[in-house]
Amino acid sequence: MSTGTLTIDLAAMAKNWTALDAMSQAETGAVVKADAYGTGIGRAARRLAQTGARKFFVAVAEEAADIRHALGPDPEIFILSGHMSGDTDMISDLNLIPLLSSIDQMLRHFEALPGAAFGIQLDTGMNRLGMEPAEWEAVRTLVIPQAPKLIMSHLACADEPEHPMNAQQLAAFTQMTDGIDAPRSLAATGGILLGPEYHFDVTRPGIGLYGGLPFIDAVPVVSIDLPIIQTRDVATGESVGYGNTWIAERPSRIATVSCGYADGIIRAMGPNTELFAAGTRVPIAGRISMDSIGVDVTDAKDLPSSLQLLGQHQSVDTLAANAGTIGYEILTSLGARYTRRYIG
């Protein structure tokens, strides 16, 4: 096998959902947008539904088809981007619930699909999606009698518990929604960890389901093992890879593994990142290229057929920090060439 193996532990994903559900003083849904953060939306949704999730959140309507195919008509599927032009047939055919974020979307939905389910997204200060307070106040009395399935907003700084923006958004959301007889949702993973006052009626864990921060107790879900294509001996003073950026300071053994930035392994992580040879740390040697990576395996006593990049010894957030990014980007950038293996 010449491609890396991407292993997705569905039992670990289920444990993470169960743990976050236990913290939630509300019904717990699941965010499965971006192909369930790169883990496979159909498989992830099926396992999360088996574990107890009944509400699923996707970014765009097109992402919902695999959930409906996997789970049938019963679960509620919410579209975070709302009702976009061209979405009407899919919303109707798949029985989706758009989270309307503007008066334009509201008019489009009510005119195209009168009586169809919908939710509302409010802007409480993030200035990304949602109706602002004045806009909401203008239409609130028209919307509420039509029984929205959910009213939600999104926290900008939930991964920073002491950030004053959290309390500001909580106050704004409470002010905009108090007295409304409709389920409310403010908390994703970080919001769950902030405490019960942020939970309202529905929580929406995302990154925490897949093993990422800020849920520090998350069980790792994804691992990556990379097959060794070739090994070679390199003399002191010889270089490895593009640009001669790595020079051997001793007689060295270099393994070339099959993977690169075309597979979502960001070049910037190279100088700070190690792989693992049966538990032994082995550093990247030289630049990460499109399809291959050089690894200094000189200190590996027993060289296996593959090296582990992500898994038991190195988390997705460690890789992200090495690249100057976040775990979300690592997970959602993993390419199509991996052999995917599901366990649990």
Beta strand 222-234 pairing with 239-240: unpaired
Report helix, strand or coil for 38: helix
Q: What is the pLDDT of residues 251-260, one digit of tens each?
A: 999 999 999 9
Query: Does the domain at residues 222-343 carry the CATH identifier 2.40.37.10?
Result: yes
Using CA atoms, how far residue 65 sits from 223, 317, 331, in Å, is: 27, 30, 21
Q: What is the pLDDT of residues 148-195, one digit of tens each?
A: 999 999 999 999 999 999 999 999 999 999 999 999 999 999 999 999
* Residues catalogued as catalytic: 33, 242
Q: What is the pLDDT of residues 4-41, one digit of tens each?
A: 999 999 999 999 999 999 999 999 999 999 999 999 99
pLDDT of residue 123: 98
C-beta separation of 123 from 169 below 8 A: no
Using CA atoms, how far residue 84 sits from 22, 94, 98, 204, in Å, is: 35, 15, 9, 22
Q: How far apart are CA 308 and CA 239, in angstroms?
A: 23
Q: How far apart are CA 95 and CA 73, in angstroms?
A: 8
Q: How far apart are CA 82 and CA 98, in angstroms?
A: 4
**DSSP annotation of 219:** P
What angle, rounded to 10 degrees, do the helices at 133-143 and 103-112 form?
Answer: 20
Using CA atoms, how far residue 308 sits from 1, 257, 284, 311, in Å, is: 15, 10, 12, 7
Domain boundaries, given as residue ranges, for the chain: 10-210, 222-343
One CATH from 3.20.20.10, 1.10.287.470, 3.40.462.20, 3.30.950.10 for 10-210? 3.20.20.10
CB count, 10 Å around CB of 250? 10
pLDDT of residue 1: 56
CB count, 10 Å around CB of 102? 18
pLDDT of residue 2: 81
Topology agreement, domain 10-210 and domain 222-343:
no
**Structure tokens given for 10:** 């569905």
Q: How far apart are CA 191 and CA 179, in angstroms?
A: 22
**Structure tokens given for 126:** 């993030």
Q: What is the pLDDT of residues 93-142, one digit of tens each?
A: 999 999 999 999 999 999 999 999 999 999 999 999 999 999 999 999 99
Using CB atoms within 10 Å of the CB of residue 86, give its burial: 0 to 12 exposed, 13 to 18 middle, 19+ buried.
exposed
Q: What is the pLDDT of residues 285-325, one digit of tens each?
A: 999 999 999 999 999 998 999 999 999 899 999 999 999 99
Q: How far apart are CA 232 and CA 256, in angstroms?
A: 9
> Which residue, 33, 71, 36, 37, is CA-closest to 54?
71
